[in-house]
Structure 1
């Protein structure tokens, strides 16, 4: 039998619970654990029916194991058919709790049977949640302790034997399997949340069309850079860039083409901006560049570099021509965030008034 055939049989076995949940969904791991527990309990209870009848001679335990096998099989059939996770989780937890209670009463402490009690909290918390899992665990363990205190005085003492080895080995293996499953689900959940938080952080500061910074982030960055420039006594310039007659382009070619032009323009602006510059979409067809440690001459040089590059570019499949009007302002001692933006906007207004496709400086307040 080839590895591929064996793998197919494993993934299509009778124990497989088909479901629509993604790995980041907590229900995915809940189903996976129930699937694993159902398989383990079927194998365990089926094997011990035979062992108790043939090797160990515990006929009462064989009957209990047979009942567990039947109950687990019924839960599996119902889960595969209806995918009712809450009902199956309650039924599975209840079956385990009832069986362990019966097992404790029948075994009377022999074969290290107490070790199986440690599985109840782990299974209950994962399948039923924190609150219901706590109730079940506390009630079951309390009842078990009371039962042991009341009846254990008449129990005989037992030595370590083959059934004891079975109990210890299988219970520890079950605990290891469940713990690994829990840790894997917890790790993947944290990884998914970290990734989603990172995506949300990016979305919060990003313009959805151009993938540049949005206006709210530009406002925050401008305040940071303005305070830094004043503290360190360095230059700071702001450029407001506007696509000339963009409304006419939208009216002539449609908003879909207009959006394509804005996306291309954004990429072109990114290629012209420097690594230290903060570039974003200011609104509509307007863009803003925050240029730290850049004086008036440097700002004009950057603006002209952008204006010339865009003027030479042909946009979209329509081979469209586009020009820019740019307003620039350099920080003065009395400037605030509002005033430096206002001066850059005044420069942009002047560039429009002077025939577009040019760069103009906002009037200094110094």
Structure 2
């Protein structure tokens, strides 16, 4: 199957183009390419069948005209890739040929079954409005023709040409319908993928790839609600880099950005799988630690602080320290109150000389 697909994707019928599957133009070009190939194959086969088997010389001439028109259109599309013009010309050629075919055949051999192709092609290639005008006008004209002339036609049984018409027309409708569904599925998958990417971007800090402030607010609200409902422990840590402005001034913002990226990796390596880490803003980071009491919060903060102090950042082997404020959850806590208490601990750590951990206002002890 794969080899047949590769073979089908090479040949005179292939239209080179730069479009990707998520672009509607990709599917319009692909459909025109396939329709042109099918029509060339169809008219080529029926040209000989109408001459040597069915003895329909006028239909053989119509087949030859259609084959030439499709070939000219194919050459033009390959050369100019004017999709709108080619789509209109293709629909025009098909409508004219089907009209000629029906008139010449006098409705014999169930030739009218080919009309079902017109709306499918017209809507996809021309759009809703123009597709409605073209297919509606074409079908109305043919219905009027049938009403006017059909009383003069003899009845036709199912014969070999009729079987050919019915079978090939049904295959064509099936092929076009599959093409439409595949393009719709590709478009849906593309939009779903883009939505997932946008969702990730909406909750991710672009520099560190950690959770951003907005997403941290949502997570903290959920964890607070869970802690209150089930009487679980919960701790919050806020940490800030020490003298980061001096580092930026001495080494530049690009190095500063690289330091923040490495810092996010160091922090991620120290927390537990159940903890939530994010960039709170600037050079501040927030850790939400479920099922963690005050003592556990201090222990986690110290583990982080020591790991950062021992790490050497970037190629310059820079030394960096962090100050950390932490607190556990109280029964009456809200997002504002618990973050404020952790922030008070951070302020105290800065005041006490940096590179240390301090509990918030309700702290009973300081850690050195």
1:247 is matched with 245
Q: Which residue of 2 aligns with 1:42?
A: 40
Size of the aligned set, in residue pairs, is 363
1:1-366 equivalent positions in 2, closer than 5 A: 11-364=9-362
Distance 1:101 1:4 in 2: 38
2:312 is paired with a residue whose SS is: coil
TM-score, normalized by length of structure 2? 0.93
CA distance in 2, matches of 1:7, 1:25: 21
SS at structure 2 position matched to 1:328: strand
**Partner-residue secondary structure (3-state), 1:56:** coil
* Greater mean deviation of Cα atoms: 108-117 or 125-134: 125-134
What is the CA distance between 1:11 and its match in structure 2? Answer: 4.1
Alpha-carbon displacement from aligned partner over 1:94-134 (angstroms, at most 9, x marks no partner) = 11112111211111121121211111121112111223223
Give how far 1:78 is off. 1.7
Do the aligned partners of residues 157 and 135 (structure 1) sit closer, same or farther apart at CA in structure 2, a change above 3 Å counting? same
Q: Which deviations, in whole Å up to 9, do the C-alpha atoms of 1:27-67 show, x marking residues without a partner? A: 11110000011111122123222222222121221222222
From the superposition, tell whether residues 273 and 93 of structure 1 become closer, same or farther in structure 2 (CA, over 3 Å). Answer: same
Q: CA deviation at 1:244?
A: 1.1
Partners of 2:347 and 2:354 lie apart in 1 by: 9
3-state secondary structure, aligned to 2:332: coil
Q: Supply the RMSD in Å over aligned alpha carbons.
A: 2.1
Say which SS state the counterpart of residue 149 (structure 2) adopts.
Answer: helix
- Whole-angstrom distance in 1 between the partners of 2:97 and 2:232: 76
1:325, 1:69 → 2: CA distance? 79
C-alpha separation in 2, matches of 1:33 and 1:40:
10
> CA separation of 1:100/1:211 partners in 2, compared to 1, >3 Å: closer, same or farther?
same
Which region of structure 1 is more displaced relative to structure 2, 143-152 or 36-45? 143-152
Show structure 1 runs of 5+ residues with no match: none
Q: Deviations over 1:225-279 (max 9, x none)?
A: 2222222232222110111111111222222221111111111111111122111
1:326 Cα deviation (Å)? 0.2
Could you tell me whether the CA contact under 8 Å between 1:332 and 1:364 is conserved in 2?
no
